[in-house]
A and B are shown apart, each in its own frame.
Chain A
Amino acid sequence: MEIIRGFDLTIIIVYLAAIPLFGIFFKRYVHTEEDYFLAGRMLPFWIIGMSLIGTNIGAYDYVGAAGGAYRFGLAQANYEWLGAIPAMILSALLFIPFYWRSGAYTVPEYLGKRYSTSVRTIEALLWFFFLAAVLGVFFWASGIMLNTYLGWPIRLSILIVAVVVAIYTVTGGLAAVAMTDVVQMLVMLVGGLAVMIIGFNLTSGWTGLVNMIKPLHPQHFQLFQPLDSPDFPWLGIILGLGLVLSPAWWCCHQAIIQRTLGAKSEWDAKASMMGAAFLKMFVPLLVVLPGFFALALCNDPTQITNPDQAFPWVMRNLLPVGLSGLVFAGFIAALLSSMDSTINSTAALFTRDIYQKFIVKNASDKHYLLLGRLITLGLVGFGIWFAPYTERFPGIYRAMQELLTIFQGPTFATVLLGVAWKRANKWGALTGLVGGVIMSLSLAKIWQPMMNLPRTGMNFLYVAWWSFVTALILNIIVSLLTKPEPPEKIRGLVYGLVLEDVSTQEALRERAEGGK
């Protein structure tokens, strides 16, 4: 049964038409590769900050996080608080200054300057395949949502979303992505507040909500679950999410970091992440509360047989005609803002780290700009094709987390030692990275759901932790057993080496100008 009808449908169609038109406006500012992938390095902190949160809140949050809250309770908010805020502070004050000063476009490019081409290439390929797979998750989520709300066929829904996002991402690059994200963030905020106000009105406020849920689900209002919890053991949350997955996301994720590299100054780059952290604290109000409202107000369990149906249930049963369209526009905004960033950053990875490095070197700016646009278009096509395969994972949100687990731990270990320890060298990084990914694969057994086999792998939070530890130890041991990197190579790229002296600034400037 479709939920959106009449006037609500008109709002959504107008919104879907307006966003690409707004994005296309920024085509006039795109003349070079730097304009396309880094918005000409002209973005102020508040635009990047809002854009970061727009990217971070995706379709998987609206559907998956509400479903997680329905099933597990407040523990789901760990992804927004412990699983974000400490890492965002660390990213702003430790990692971003080094990325920004290195003049890199991508995280693998920084690793290439800091370690070697091999490390850069492995990282670039891992990120490229991961982000491409994530696109499939996003497209599938969009298909499910449009099917649920509008009654449109899943394939047709995916196609419509793909066309909308492709139009402005291909033409306007990062500037269009960031500016449309700001609009989309505001739409999401208004839609989320509408759900919150109506929900609290029906449950007689927070106290009423607690009183309705707590008798049947006593653990739903605590952030930490006992150690024997299969999904949110508190030790796994701290070690896996707080210390590994979250820093890996906020300090090393290409789609996140690329936005900060488009800042107009180093201060703006740092402040964008800190500002995003303030916004991030309020995200549970948008994505976790709907799960609580569904749990408190749905008296017929047959209406929500899968937790991912919690948010659609709220839309269908709580919102009056008129508001449904607005809230659904918020959902589409979340969807588009995550997709456009992923597509743009994946295209940047391929163009900078694969194509420019190995296929066509020293071509003109116009050549790389055209290629970036073609790759962007190709990625949209790949996302459409790959989308149905993501259905085999149990829950959209978990699918993304499990894909992340495979290499986020090893990546974070490699970048962390690269930024923080000058003795780490290319051999240590290479061994740690490969060893960590092998450890992840052997512990997670991620191929099982794709082959319809029962899951026997370790909880993904612990997989992240152990793959991180493996990569860290291997990197340290091998680095100590092999020759250190020459100081002139890593000057300005490692914490502890003087950044402000003339020779360091000169080295950084040379890298920024010539280092592709």
Chain B
Amino acid sequence: MDISRIPLYWGIVVTVILYAGIGLWAVLRPKKYIYEGAPNKAKWRDLRIWAVVLVVIQIIIHIAWGGK
């Protein structure tokens, strides 16, 4: 099999899956683990939300500029 013939869009597909997987993994972390050491449980301190925002922005960037 000649791997150089694999279309470029598969790179984008794999990347989107990778980001989505990391986002899902982050969301599934226990709340206690995420807030460990935090002075309070304010919503903005929930690092799972930070992770989801990062992942969504990155997925958009890769879909827009990944290549054709």
Cβ of B26: which chain A residues have Cβ within 8 Å of it? 89, 93
Contact B18 A86 (CB under 8 A): yes
- Could you give, for residues 334-369 of chain A, a 1 whenever the CB lies within 8 Å of some chain B CB and a 0 otherwise? 000000000000000000000000000000000000
Contact A266 B65 (CB under 8 A): no
A90 within 8 A of B: yes
Contact B37 A89 (CB under 8 A): no
State how many angstroms separate the Cβ of B37 from the closest Cβ of chain A. 3
Identify which of residues 1-43 in chain B touch chain A, using a CB-to-CB cut-off of 8 Å: 3-6, 8, 11-12, 14-15, 18-19, 22, 25-26, 29, 32-39
Identify which of residues 234-248 in chain A touch chain B, using a CB-to-CB cut-off of 8 Å: 234-235, 237-238, 242
Cβ of B36: which chain A residues have Cβ within 8 Å of it? 97, 266-267
Interface of B, helix, strand, loop or mixed by DSSP: helix
Cβ of A237: which chain B residues have Cβ within 8 Å of it? 11
A-B contact count (CB 8 A): 103
Cβ of B25: which chain A residues have Cβ within 8 Å of it? 93
Alpha-carbon distance between A235 and B4 when the two chains are bound, in angstroms: 10
Interface stretch of the complex, out of A173-181, A220-228, A469-477: A220-228
Contact B65 A223 (CB under 8 A): yes
Contact B32 A500 (CB under 8 A): yes
Cβ of A228: which chain B residues have Cβ within 8 Å of it? 4
A270 with B65, Cβ < 8 A, contacts A93-B29, A97-B33 known: no
A82 in complex: contacting residue of B8, B15, B47, CB < 8 Å: B15
Interface of A, helix, strand, loop or mixed by DSSP: helix
Alpha-carbon distance between A80 and B47 when the two chains are bound, in angstroms: 21
| Closest chain A residue to B40, Cβ basis | A267
Contact B18 A242 (CB under 8 A): yes
Contact A222 B37 (CB under 8 A): no
A281 within 8 A of B: yes
- Could you give, for residues 26-68 of chain B, a 1 whenever the CB lies within 8 Å of some chain A CB and a 0 otherwise? 1001001111111100000101001100110110011001111
State how many angstroms separate the Cβ of B28 from the closest Cβ of chain A. 10
Contact A281 B54 (CB under 8 A): yes
Chain B residues with a Cβ under 8 A of chain A: 3-6, 8, 11-12, 14-15, 18-19, 22, 25-26, 29, 32-39, 45, 47, 50-51, 54-55, 57-58, 61-62, 65-68
Known: A265-B37, A267-B45, A271-B47. 11 other contacts (CB 8 A): A82-B15, A92-B47, A93-B26, A226-B8, A237-B11, A267-B38, A267-B39, A268-B37, A269-B37, A271-B50, A277-B54
